[in-house]
Structures are given as C-alpha cells and as structure tokens.
C-alpha cells in the first residue's frame, strides 16, 4: 500500500513521464481497476474505512480484516503504515500512530530521520536551500513543501527501504512456517516530505515537468467549501511547482523500486502463484490542479485511486467498473473462500475479477472530512457540501473538471437524479 498516490501519476493509468516498472509488471499480471475511489479524503478516515469496510463517520462497527482472518487461522503481519500513522512524525519516533493492535499477529515500525536526512534540503514555498540539519521544518505546517535529496545513494536510511527489507524477511519466515498469511506492506512515499536519493530527482529534469495550467477564473464556479489548500504561495512560483512534480515522481519511483524487492522475493520463494496481491493507496493528491495542493478535496485528482489485484486464477485485464476501497475487505475474504462478516458496507469484487465487464455498483461514494460528500457515476461527478454549495461535472466532455454545470438548466434532470442518488447513498452509509 502506498500513500498519497494519484492514479494519474502512474504509467499503468496513462502517465507518460513517471517510471514505475514494478507497478507496471503487477498491472500486466492482474486486474487494473480504472475507476476505483476512496471513501475518506485523508489518511485517517480512509485507511480504517478500508480495513473495516465501514464508511467514514458511520455508527456501524465491524472487526478489522486482520481480526477476521486471525479468527480463521491466518497469521497477520504489518510492516510500515497500513492504518494511519502521521508522516513524518511516526517515522521520526517509530510510533504506531492509530494502528489497531488486534489486527495483527505481529507488527513492525521504522525509525528514520525523514526531513533531517543528510542531504540537500529545500523548502519549496520559500527560498530556503541548505545542507545544514539545524533549522529544518519537520513537523510544522511547511513540512508538505519540503524535499531532501539524500546523500545515501541506495536509500537504505529511508522508511520504504526498511519496510521492503522487513517484508522480505517476513516472507521467508512465512515460507518456512508453511501456513496461510496476510501481510500488510505499508510504504509512506510519495507522502510529503519527499525524501529520497538524489538519483530519483535526477530522473525527472524540472524543465520536462508538465505542470497544470493556471486558468483565469477557474475558481469562480467552485464553492469555497469545495476548494483545496492553495499552496501557501507556491502557485506563484513556477520553478517550485516544477520541483514539486519532480520530487513527487521521484518519490513514486523510489517507492516502486522497494515494491519490486517484495515482488522479486515472492517469485524467488515460489509463492507468487499462490499469493493474492493487492496494490492501492489511501487517496490521491493535488499537485497544482485548479491551484489546489495536497488532498481533503472531492475532485477526481484526490478521490480516484490506483487499484490492482493480481491473484491465482484471475486473468489479467482492465475494468472500468466503479468500485470503492471498502470493497477490498469482502474481496479478500471471498478470494480466501471465508465467510464474509455481516454488516460490511463493501461488496466483493470477485465478479469483476472473473469478468471485467461485470458491475457491483452504479456509483462510488466519497465522504468529505468536514461535511458533505461526492458521488461518481459512469459519466457524472456530483459533489455536495451540506448546504454550502454543489458541483456537477460531465466527466466525458470535461474530465479535468473545469466547468461546473450545477447552475446550467440544461442539466436540471441530471442534477435532480444525482441529488437523489447521493441522498440515498449517504443515508445507507450511516
């Protein structure tokens, strides 16, 4: 599992710049879900929602996937960030964050220097560039604009390298044990701060970075409640915006290299053909689209996530069926031929894995951190801010979401239907 990974940043989803050879080979061996959506807009609501198959803010309860699998005799282990761990705080002090201990038979954290890693530090929304460790901003509001080109060329002092190393060790132990296992491998990149060896920055020359256009009046039809963080001055700094894309792509490629170590070990141990692999993230990310940065926003850049499932007996392919991250829990359970607990909000994706044209949902729901939510159908993307505005986009004609048609009378019937669907879905999610 990655962190803050936008689907549009991957070559498996059409990106022509970012290099992810290991995600690509996983995509070639599995089912690529082109329309997968998260339920929470930040790490904390999204991850427990996925691992319990319960929508954020719901009063419903369910055992975690780990507890359910343990009940049926499986060994469950976690390495790195699976439930929410604040980055870089949890890595600096090797804490469990909001992890659920009962989910795991065993669990392991990493301890790294993160922003304090030796190397060239930049704070991209300012003019700070230094190799000095003193004075670097690691926990303050500016940490999301920090990058470090680390001196350690192999990245062995970074969390994702350590996570992959421990995951390989656990795979070897599980191979010897000869019993079923569930292993959560949690990478923190490309979550800010973007810290990786210099060579990963060098792969992406700044002048070749395609940054989103800044369009006059772009925000005029987006209600204030629907706007994302504005970058703290970054929107006026073109070179820094290019550096952000450079650092983001570098972080993704660094993470991908660590994923490759885990995939290689599965093959070396002879476990690949008997192991189901799910690759996803908690939510997407804004990198200047509409002038927005980070997450906590209902636009496509944030709510659409990569999801690839490679499992025994499943033919490789691609599907445009709408799915949600809450669907993973019942899917794992189905693939293992175990009973699905009552009360889960998710639906098993096994029908789609067997037939990419199958459907389990007509819409995908995402819930706003503050109030309201969004609903994605095959063509339309509707957002409701609980009395503070609405958005409606034709995702065929306007995939980048530049024209909010919520006030256009030509779309009155579509808006009425979207409101009704949204109301029903939100009521069922309580």
pLDDT tens per residue across span 291-341: 999 998 899 999 999 999 999 999 999 999 999 999 999 999 999 999 999
- Whether residue 361 lies inside any domain: the answer is no
User: Which residues of the chain fall below pLDDT 50?
Assistant: none
Residue 342: burial class (beta carbons within 10 Å; 0-12, 13-18, 19+):
exposed
Cβ contact 101:110 at 8 Å: no
- Whether residue 324 lies inside any domain: the answer is yes
Cβ contact 256:22 at 8 Å: yes
Query: What is the rounded CA–CA span in Å between residue 41 and residue 90?
Result: 20
- Whether residue 206 lies inside any domain: the answer is yes
Query: What is the rounded CA–CA span in Å between residue 70 and residue 101?
Result: 12
- Whether residue 143 lies inside any domain: the answer is no
DSSP 40: B
- Whether residue 413 lies inside any domain: the answer is no
Cβ contact 155:197 at 8 Å: yes
Residue 142, helix vs strand vs coil: helix
- Whether residue 1 lies inside any domain: the answer is no
- Residue where the block lists tokens 């729901």: 365
The residues, any chain, with a CB within 8 Å of residue 230's CB and separated by 6 or more, are 291, 292, 293
Distances (CA, A) of 245 to 101, 242, 252: 36, 5, 11
pLDDT digit string (tens) for 111-143? 999 999 999 999 998 889 999 999 887 766 777
For residue 424 the two structure tokens come to: 């029903």
- Whether residue 276 lies inside any domain: the answer is yes
Query: What is the rounded CA–CA span in Å between residue 17 and residue 113?
Result: 29
Give the E-state strand segments of 188-303 in sequence order.
194-197, 277-280, 286-287, 293-294
Strand partners, 392: 382
| Other Cβ atoms closer than 10 A to 213 | 11
Question: What is the maximum alpha-carbon separation in the chain?
Answer: 65
For residue 214 the two structure tokens come to: 């800044």
Domain of residue 39, CATH code: 3.40.720.10
What stretch of H or E contains 299? none
Residue 352: burial class (beta carbons within 10 Å; 0-12, 13-18, 19+):
buried
Cβ contact 203:253 at 8 Å: yes
Q: What is the pLDDT of residue 362?
A: 98
CA–centroid distance for 218 within its chain? 26
| Other Cβ atoms closer than 10 A to 16 | 6
Query: What is the rounded CA–CA span in Å between residue 121 and residue 60?
Result: 45
Closest CA to 369 of 307, 302, 324, 323: 302
If one counts the domains in the chain, the total is: 1
The residues, any chain, with a CB within 8 Å of residue 129's CB and separated by 6 or more, are 120, 121, 122, 123
For residue 401 the two structure tokens come to: 């979401």
Q: What is the pLDDT of residue 140?
A: 67
Query: What is the rounded CA–CA span in Å between residue 178 and residue 168?
Result: 15
- Whether residue 131 lies inside any domain: the answer is no
Q: What is the pLDDT of residue 147?
A: 96
pTM of the model: 0.97
What is the CA angle 345-351-357, rounded to 5?
Answer: 115
- Residue where the block lists tokens 């979207």: 418
DSSP 180: -
Query: What is the rounded CA–CA span in Å between residue 127 and residue 84?
Result: 32
Q: What is the pLDDT of residue 4?
A: 98
Q: What is the pLDDT of residue 153?
A: 96
Q: What is the domain extent for residue 177?
A: 7-118+151-343
């Amino acid at each position: 599992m990655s962190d803050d990974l936008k689907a549009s940043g991957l070559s498996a989803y059409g990106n022509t710049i970012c290099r992810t050879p290991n995600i690509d080979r996983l995509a070639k061996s599995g089912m690529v879900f082109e329309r997968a959506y998260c339920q929470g807009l930040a790490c904390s609501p999204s991850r427990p929602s996925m691992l319990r198959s319960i929508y954020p803010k719901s009063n419903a309860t369910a055992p975690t996937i780990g507890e359910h699998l343990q009940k049926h005799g499986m060994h469950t282990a976690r390495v790195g960030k699976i439930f929410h761990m604040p980055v870089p705080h949890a890595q600096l002090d090797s804490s469990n964050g909001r992890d659920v201990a009962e989910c795991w038979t065993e669990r392991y954290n990493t301890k790294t220097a993160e922003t304090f890693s030796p190397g060239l530090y930049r704070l991209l929304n300012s003019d700070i560039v230094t190799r000095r460790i003193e004075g670097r901003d690691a926990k303050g509001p500016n940490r999301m604009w920090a990058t470090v080109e680390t001196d350690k060329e192999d990245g062995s002092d970074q969390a994702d390298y350590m996570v992959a190393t421990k995951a390989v060790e656990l795979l070897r132990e599980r191979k010897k044990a000869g019993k079923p296992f569930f292993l959560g491998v949690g990478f923190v990149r490309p979550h800010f701060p973007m810290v990786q060896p210099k060579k990963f920055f060098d792969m992406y020359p700044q002048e070749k970075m395609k940054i989103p256009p800044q369009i006059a009046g772009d925000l005029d039809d987006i209600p204030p409640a629907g706007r994302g963080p504005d970058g703290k001055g970054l929107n006026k700094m073109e070179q820094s915006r290019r550096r952000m894309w450079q650092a983001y792509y570098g972080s993704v490629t660094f993470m991908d290299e660590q994923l490759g170590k885990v995939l290689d070990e599965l093959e070396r141990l002879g476990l690949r053909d008997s192991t189901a692999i799910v690759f996803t993230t908690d939510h997407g990310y804004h990198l200047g689209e509409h002038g927005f940065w980070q997450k906590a926003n209902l636009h496509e850049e944030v709510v659409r996530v990569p999801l690839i499932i490679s499992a025994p007996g499943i033919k490789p392919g691609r599907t445009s069926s709408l799915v949600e991250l809450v669907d993973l829990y019942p899917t794992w359970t189905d693939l293992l031929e175990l009973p699905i607990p009552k009360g889960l909000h998710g639906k098993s994706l096994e029908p789609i894995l067997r037939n990419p044209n199958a459907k389990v949902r007509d819409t995908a729901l995402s819930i706003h951190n503050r109030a309201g939510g969004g609903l994605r159908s095959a063509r339309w993307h509707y957002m409701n801010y609980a009395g503070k505005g609405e958005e409606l986009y034709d995702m065929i004609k306007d995939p980048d979401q530049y024209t909010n048609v919520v006030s256009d009378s030509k779309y009155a019937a579509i808006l009425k239907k979207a409101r009704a669907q949204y109301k029903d879905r939100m009521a069922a999610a309580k």
